[in-house]
Structure 1
Amino acid sequence: MTIPADAATLAGAPEAGAHHANQFALLGQRRFAPFFWTQFAGAANDNLFKFAFTVMVTYQLQLAWMPPAMAGLVIGALFILPFLLFSATAGQLTDKHDKTKMIRFVKNLEIGIMALAAWGFLRADAVLLLACVFLMGLHSTLFGPVKFAYLPQVLDARELTGGNGMVEMGTFVAILLGQVAGGLLVALPEVGHATVAVACLLLALIGRGVAQAIPPAPATDPSLVINWNPVSETWRNLRLAHGNLVVFRSLLGISWMWFFGAVFLSQFPSFAKEVLHGNEQVASLLLVVFSVGIGIGSLLCETLSRRQVEIGLVPLGAIGMSVFAIDLYFASRALPPAGVMGLAGFVGLPAHWRVMADLGLLSLFAGLYSVPMYALIQLRSQPTHRARIIAANNILNALFMIGSAVIAGALLQAGFTIPQIFLFTGIANAVVAFYIFMLVPEYLLRFVAWVLTHLVYRFDVEGEDHIPAEGPAVLVCNHVSFIDAVLLMAASPRPIRFIMDHRIFRVPVLGWLFRLAKAIPIAPQKEDPTAYARAFAQAVQVLREGDLLAIFPEGAITRDGQLQAFKGGVMRILDDARAEGIEPPVVPMALTNLWGSYFSRIEVRDGEQVAMVRPFRRGFFSRVGLRVGTAMPRAEVQPEALQQRVSALLGSQPT
């Protein structure tokens, strides 16, 4: 997404086409840094306040109406309740108003709430503090849609994964620091309550001060009429989200991640005490390991995705989550009996290292799972409705977290041990992930493309910015191997529909993948005129829907490594599209260094050229590439001219 000229100037955005070296460079940009530190201060304050209050009612106050064992549950439920009640309204307000003004309003509200909470801490008034928990939940409900709708408005598509990774990392670090600080401050003799009061109010003031530096982010739907009925608007938001099935199923995927994470986070204290035989410091260590893992996984997303929205990381994350959740069961069930240990004693036993490694890797893969999903939702949601889509996600997240508490409680009541609950969650994650990836095969296809371009080949892409970020386009490429389409998928952040020779669908595995990708089979007109005509009709339909269409004009995979003559099928597609008022740009592309690889037809068996017979004929990680040229004007598009452009992109490089 491009940044509006006025907002871009105020935000200090880079010039068009310029990209940062990495996501950390965003912290030097006004469009991102003040927003990052504002949300960091808010997340830290939320958790400092909640954890300090939980410790206070658990250890320091004697409340007959709220036993210590119920304190965490009551506080957590009160905090989540506003997400169910007011998320729909928050989404509307964010779409209707300038997001920066919304952020400042929310931070002003936080100052008022924290002033009230400070009075509650000084008086040790649990009822007043419970009211503040609900109000801070309202604060977070209002901020949630703003947080995720702001980023795609000021970051371009190639910065979105890195920006989300930074926000996700910052949020979990802030949660960790807030909880640690809350626990330490409230325990200070005599001055603990006053210190917490000052810290909460100070963090709120700091957050509001930093928010003042956030540049304007204009409203995306200023004419929106607010529906103040939370029930009807919640239902409307869920229906709105369901209108885009890829987005909606991604919302479900994120909500499942919160279900998964809530199971582990809620069981840390009991897991540390009953299974690991550790004290409160050990429970805190588990939280530290989990938070650090999430942060590292979130930051790795940009590096592993070539700075594009790479949803191929989502299946990788899901696999890691299940593998290490299941291994955590085996690692923890074999621990020998022991007395209660402190931090040093716990870390000193090698048997516990596997537990911490499982927990850290589990959370790292959760970071790989969640960040690309958030970025996909931001990228694919209609800008005028984006905040309401995020609000629908918050509603679903709250429902799934409540569901996780109910199911975990039911399993405990049924006699399950905590390690068995972790095992159950890991297996359930594998089942749910498989179901989601079958519903949205784009995730699985991108995963295959990611594995191929990271673990089989070293894949270099030049000129990827020439692939249009939105709208219809025809991509024209040379045809070197059976996996050309997979490589093009890996290079484009957008889905691509391919026109492919019908015979390739008979190839084991690859044929299944291409059917999953909804590739369009085409047969020679003389062989099957009906299939021939149907292929062109489907191609125009792809362009009519505003999507990318790729075609290999040579008509077949090269048998000598040389570029073959281009056929006229692309001209028929363009003519049929023009007849419907569609003028898609034509983008030439060239795959390089693929000839001679496992998937090319270089081997000769029984007098016939074949592929896929010598797996490591070029060794591991052989270098291949894709060069993307600038779009050609429609008037210049002819088969010969297209062939010359692709040939020029190939240059001296072999195909």
Structure 2
Amino acid sequence: MEDHSQFRLLSERRFLPFFTTQFAGAFNDNLFKNALLLLVTYNAGGLFGLSADVVVNLAAMLFILPFFLFSAIAGQVADRYEKAGVIRWIKFAEVVIMGTAAVGLWYGWHELLLLLLFLTGVQSAFFGPVKYAILPQALKESELVGGNALVEMGTFVAILLGTLVAGVMMKASAPGPVVAIAVAVLAIIGLAAALKIPKAEPAAPDLRIRFRPLKETWKLMAIARDNHAVFLSIMAISWFWFLGAAYLTQFPNFAKTNLLGDETVVTILLAIFTIGIAAGSVACERLSGHKIELGIVPIGSIGLSFFGIDLYLNIPDQPIPSDWWMIITDPHYRQVAIDLLAVGIFGGLFIVPLYAYVQQQTPADTRARVIAALNIFNALFMVVSALLGMLMLGLFGLDIPEFFLVLSIMNLVVAGYVYQQVPDFALRFVIWVLSHTIYRVTHHDLDRIPEEGPVLLVCNHVSYMDALVIAGAVRRPVRFVMDHNIFKTPVMGSFFRLAKTIPIGPKAKVPEIYDAAFDRIDEELAAGHVVCIFPEGRLTKDGEVDTFRPGIDRILERRAVPVVPMALRGLWGSFFSHCGGPAFSHWPRRFWSRIHLLADRPMPAEQANAQALEARVKTLRGTQT
């Protein structure tokens, strides 16, 4: 699997029909919504006796309101019924809605179109939970990041195309009939693709459906809060939509006022930003090594703020009239384009692992309802984003570049709070950076580690970086057993405490720490976690595997769990090893070391002991140090 691109999924029936369905739906929603807004703005001023500005904002509210009203029941439906069938019914409803919309567009019945926009929002509100809840059933865990990346890429590309195509079609001599045909055809394509989606069994077939919007919405919030890390991940995703909505809303005035641009500048800014998000989403799968890697999330948040601030600093003080070509070719304007592209890329890096993490960590029987809660929060945050923009740009008198600066600073504050509340983000970030800069790590047969249940990892001990290399490679969170003295160091001690590392020391010198370590190991294994020990008890001083101590036997006597022998190659000679003298005291033999981490087949507890495991690790490591 790790040798294949995520784009391979686009050739498989378990993913391609679903991808086509959601792409056509997002394209159609945005084509219809933007065409309607343009019709209202240029051809239907005074609808219902209201001004065009009021009608435009009314239309935006009508599209987002269903997410507040119907997400709760949508989550229940997606958990209660077979998901492919739910998608087909939703797509059938889209055909009916868009068929009616085609008639309204053809004959210019704009009042009817506003009602249909509300129904389009209802249909989208029902599609959101099942859209993300079906992915963990259709894909392997190693494909989940890649699948989410493709979905996010497809969604944002569809949004861009829908917006652009709406603008192009509205320039036709008879825009209503042209758009009418397009929305009807796209709805039919979406339904045809939905008919090919493989069956996905219901997660909670006994769930009782209740249509109580306010009460069920409140229950969704409680379900989402059950897992603190998942809840904060939901908040982080919604924060991204807050930022994205803030940027997108300001593009027209930003292009007109700060860049002196024509209409094409608005289009190119939107295209650059959207392409950036799509590119960042796709890059996630490779950067994460085909697993859910929370370490990428802080990289995304840092990039969002850095390039947001850089955007503020690079906006021309004395702009000259511009068009889309100047934005790309003129050095001053090009830097603005680069900053917006980077903001989009880091936004994609930020959001994709979070979506995959929420899907993975949420129980299957409540997953769709948690996604429904996420959709409610997304809608709420986008509304608050609009209100904040009105407050900052209106009441406080900030200009748009200053508003972008405020958003970048706010992002750092929000990210800092989330990472302080969920240390896994910061821990995985450190591990990811180290394992992708100092070392080049190649994994061998790590799929031999059981995907669930308690397991004990044993590995040779070469350097102070061993634990970080293993933690960065193994898909499951690992609890390491390490010398208690490392906890006394100011920085490393805090880091390993956050990582829930288990301190251990010699029985003769610190018997209370020694006994407490075995109690902790047993507790972690009893809870179904992965524990890793280095049975040599110390770093090798000659590069060879030392004698395994009998502590491994005591662990297995207390709790019989499978044991996976592992071996590290390539760390001997690094700055963190004892090669040539004590670690940290000598010049490293090489930088950018090529590291190999190998895993053997699991050994049953009754066959595993210190002597047998030592022999397996030595064989696995071979002669390379």
Shared fold, TM over 0.5: yes
Q: 1:19: Cα distance to partner?
A: 6.1
Q: 1:76: Cα distance to partner?
A: 2.2
Show the counterpart of 2:154.
170
The question of 1:507 aligning with 2:461 is answered no
Is the Cα contact below 8 Å between 2:314 and 2:336 reproduced in 1? yes
Show the counterpart of 2:352.
371
Q: 1:564: Cα distance to partner?
A: 1.2
Q: 1:512: Cα distance to partner?
A: 2.1
Equivalent-residue separation in structure 2 for 1:599 and 1:588 (angstroms): 23
Equivalent-residue separation in structure 1 for 2:155 and 2:549 (angstroms): 54
- The one-letter code matched in structure 1 to 2:454 is P
Show the counterpart of 1:640.
611
CA displacement, residues 163-195 of structure 1 (integer Å, 9 cap, x when unaligned): 111111111111111111111112312x20111
The question of 1:531 aligning with 2:513 is answered yes
Equivalent-residue separation in structure 1 for 2:158 and 2:42 (angstroms): 24
% identical equivalent positions: 46
Show the counterpart of 2:320.
338
The question of 1:597 aligning with 2:579 is answered no
- The one-letter code matched in structure 2 to 1:391 is A
Equivalent-residue separation in structure 1 for 2:366 and 2:8 (angstroms): 29
Equivalent-residue separation in structure 2 for 1:540 and 1:236 (angstroms): 36
Q: Which runs of 5+ in 2 are unaligned?
A: none
Is the Cα contact below 8 Å between 1:176 and 1:288 reproduced in 2? yes
Q: 1:308: Cα distance to partner?
A: 1.2
Is the Cα contact below 8 Å between 2:565 and 2:617 reproduced in 1? yes
Equivalent-residue separation in structure 1 for 2:185 and 2:476 (angstroms): 44
- The one-letter code matched in structure 2 to 1:400 is F
Residue of structure 2 aligned with 1:354, choices 313, 326, 335:
335
Is the Cα contact below 8 Å between 1:298 and 1:371 reproduced in 2? yes
Q: 1:352: Cα distance to partner?
A: 0.4
* DSSP-derived class of the 1:509 partner: helix
Q: Which runs of 5+ in 1 are unaligned?
A: 1-17, 578-582, 605-609
Equivalent-residue separation in structure 2 for 1:615 and 1:396 (angstroms): 52
Matches within 5 A, 1:610-629: 610-614=582-586, 617-619=589-591, 621-629=592-600
Equivalent-residue separation in structure 1 for 2:6 and 2:490 (angstroms): 40
Equivalent-residue separation in structure 2 for 1:395 and 1:212 (angstroms): 28
Q: 1:616: Cα distance to partner?
A: 5.1
Show the counterpart of 1:105.
89
* DSSP-derived class of the 1:459 partner: strand
Is the Cα contact below 8 Å between 2:328 and 2:337 reproduced in 1? no
Equivalent-residue separation in structure 2 for 1:155 and 1:59 (angstroms): 45
* DSSP-derived class of the 2:134 partner: helix
Q: 1:103: Cα distance to partner?
A: 0.6
TM-score, normalised relative to structure 1 = 0.93
Q: 1:266: Cα distance to partner?
A: 0.9
TM-score, normalised relative to structure 2 = 0.97
The question of 1:650 aligning with 2:621 is answered yes
RMSD: 1.5
Is the Cα contact below 8 Å between 1:20 and 1:26 reproduced in 2? no
Is the Cα contact below 8 Å between 2:81 and 2:205 reproduced in 1? yes
CA displacement, residues 478-501 of structure 1 (integer Å, 9 cap, x when unaligned): 111112111111111221111111
Equivalent-residue separation in structure 2 for 1:233 and 1:52 (angstroms): 34
Matches within 5 A, 1:11-30: 21-30=4-13
Is the Cα contact below 8 Å between 1:276 and 1:335 reproduced in 2? no
Show the counterpart of 2:121.
137
Deviates more, 1:420-429 or 1:379-388: 379-388
Equivalent-residue separation in structure 2 for 1:346 and 1:484 (angstroms): 48
Q: 1:437: Cα distance to partner?
A: 1.1
Equivalent-residue separation in structure 2 for 1:87 and 1:540 (angstroms): 42
Equivalent-residue separation in structure 2 for 1:440 and 1:617 (angstroms): 37
The question of 1:93 aligning with 2:80 is answered no
Show the counterpart of 1:194.
177
Equivalent-residue separation in structure 1 for 2:184 and 2:448 (angstroms): 49
The question of 1:542 aligning with 2:519 is answered no
Is the Cα contact below 8 Å between 1:289 and 1:360 reproduced in 2? yes
Show the counterpart of 2:474.
492
Show the counterpart of 1:278.
261
Matches within 5 A, 1:140-289: 140-189=124-173, 191-289=174-272
Show the counterpart of 1:561.
543
- The one-letter code matched in structure 1 to 2:357 is L
The question of 1:46 aligning with 2:29 is answered yes
CA displacement, residues 423-464 of structure 1 (integer Å, 9 cap, x when unaligned): 011111111111111111111111111111111111111111
Show the counterpart of 1:5.
none
Is the Cα contact below 8 Å between 1:96 and 1:220 reproduced in 2? yes
Equivalent-residue separation in structure 1 for 2:56 and 2:328 (angstroms): 27
Q: 1:510: Cα distance to partner?
A: 2.3
Q: 1:35: Cα distance to partner?
A: 0.5
Equivalent-residue separation in structure 2 for 1:631 and 1:348 (angstroms): 58
Is the Cα contact below 8 Å between 2:482 and 2:502 reproduced in 1? yes
